[in-house]
Structures are given as C-alpha cells and as structure tokens.
Amino acid sequence: MFQPLRTGLVILSAATLLTACGEPEDTRPGQPVKQRQTAFKDIIKSFEPMGVMLRKGTYDAERVEKFTAELIARRDLPWGHFGPDTNYPPTKATPEVWSKPAEFEQEKQAFIAATDKLQAAVQSKDKAQVGTAYEAVHDSCKSCHKQFKAR
C-alpha cells in the first residue's frame, strides 16, 4: 500500500537533485546568454523539420516553404546577444567568439548567405535544389560550431 508512495517520493527526490545539478541560470540583466540560446533553439525548430523531410523522403514543398520563411525570420535573432560582457556560464560559446570577431562575423555572414540560397531554392520547389541548399546551411552551422561552440 505504501510502496507506490515510496517509489514516487524516490523518483521525485532524484528528479529534484538532478535539476539542482543542472546548468547555471543566466541571471544577468536581459539574460543575453539565455536569449541567444533560445534564439538558436528557435532556428533549429524551423530548420530541422526540413532535414527530416529530406532524409525520410517526405518532401512537401509547401511545408518547406513555411519552415524556410520561419528560418529567415529568426536567423538574425541570436547575433545581437553576443555582447562583449556575455562570455559567462551558461554560455556554450568559445572565447574565440570575442578574440576573433572578424572570423565570427564571417561565419555569421556565411550562414546568412546560405539561408538566402535556401530561400531561393525553395522558390523553385525542386527537391534536389532544396536538398543541396539545405546541406549548405547545415555545413555553415557545422563550420561555425567547430570553432565557436564548446563541445
């Protein structure tokens, strides 16, 4: 009779302890680290469904067009949150973001250009063109992460 209650309490206690050991909270004014992390997550929410469609062979030109429009609308959101005083936990950015600003800007511009090409490919509604442009955006993300995101 008390076993389910005991099990529930053990699970709740474990979950509470795990939460307490999690990532530090961004408590700075305006929460710039949290803002940019949220912006990148929102970009992924627009980008990844296209990749799933392309990989699984369920390409839907109208849905890809919708996701691309969302991606374009969100692509500029994270960059303004990389201020000079935003290299603190819980950041996943490497110090090179701030020590190599020209290279970081170059990666940002490559991402913007790749998303522009994706938008143009989506207008063609040609799956092969969209797939190629999607991979270019993906490669742009990987290139930036290689130098500017902690693993």
CATH number, domain with residue 44: 1.20.120.10
Neighbours of 25 (CB within 10 A): 11
Residue 6 lies in a domain: no
CB 115 within 8 A of CB 72: yes
Nearest to 125 by CA among 47, 60, 80, 71: 60
DSSP class per residue in 59-126: --HHHHHHHHHHHHHHTTTTGGG--TT--STT--B-THHHH-HHHHHHHHHHHHHHHHHHHHHHHHT-
- What is residue 3's predicted lDDT score, i.e. its pLDDT? 53
| Domain-located, residue 1 | no
**Does the residue 21 lie in any domain?**
no
Of 51, 31, 40, residue with least CA distance to 76: 40
pLDDT for 80 equals 96
Residue 16 included in any domain: no
Domain count, the chain: 1
* pLDDT tens, residue order, the chain (151 aa): 455 445 444 444 444 444 456 779 999 999 999 999 999 999 999 999 999 999 999 999 999 999 999 999 999 999 999 999 999 999 999 999 999 999 999 999 999 999 999 999 999 999 999 999 999 999 999 999 999 999 8
Is 2 among the domain residues? no
Contacts of 68 (CB under 8 A, 6+ apart): 46, 50, 115, 118, 119, 122
Q: How many CB atoms lie within 10 A of CB 23?
A: 9
**Cβ-contact 119, 130 below 8 angstroms:** no
Domain containing 41 equals 32-82+91-148
Q: Does a structural domain hold residue 47? A: yes
Q: CA dist 139 to 75, 93, 110, Å?
A: 15, 18, 10
Report d(CA 85, CA 126) in Å as an integer: 44
Q: How far apart are CA 147 and CA 143, in angstroms?
A: 7
In a domain, residue 20? The reply is no
Q: Is residue 121 part of a domain?
A: yes
